[in-house]
Structure 1
Amino acid sequence: MKKRSLTIAGHRTSVALEQEFWDEIDALAKVQSLTLSQLIEQIDQNRDTENLASALRLAVLRSLKSQQN
Structure 2
Amino acid sequence: MLDLEDAKLKKRSVTISGHRTSISIEQCFWRHLKRYADTDKISLNEIVRQIDEARSRSLSGSIRAYVIQRLETESTQKITTD
Q: Quickly name the TM-score band, shorter chain normalised.
A: over 0.9
Could you tell me how far 1:2 is from its partner in structure 2? 1.1
Deviations 1:6-48 (A, max 9, x none): 1101111000111101100000100000100000000110112
Instruction: Give the fraction of aligned pairs with identical amino acids, expressed as a percent.
Output: 37
Higher RCO (CA < 8 A, seq sep 6+): 1
Using the size of structure 2 for normalisation, the TM-score is 0.79
The unaligned stretches of length 5 or more in structure 2 are 1-8, 77-82
Mapped to 2, the partners of 1:57 and 1:13 lie a distance apart of 17
Q: 3-state DSSP class of the match of 2:23? A: strand
Q: 3-state DSSP class of the match of 1:17? A: strand
Paired positions, count: 68
Task: Show structure 1 runs of 4+ deviating over 3 A.
Answer: none
Question: Aligned residue for 1:16?
Answer: 24
The unaligned stretches of length 5 or more in structure 1 are none
RMSD over aligned CA atoms reads 0.7
Using the size of structure 1 for normalisation, the TM-score is 0.93
Report the structure number with the largest CA radius of gyration: 2
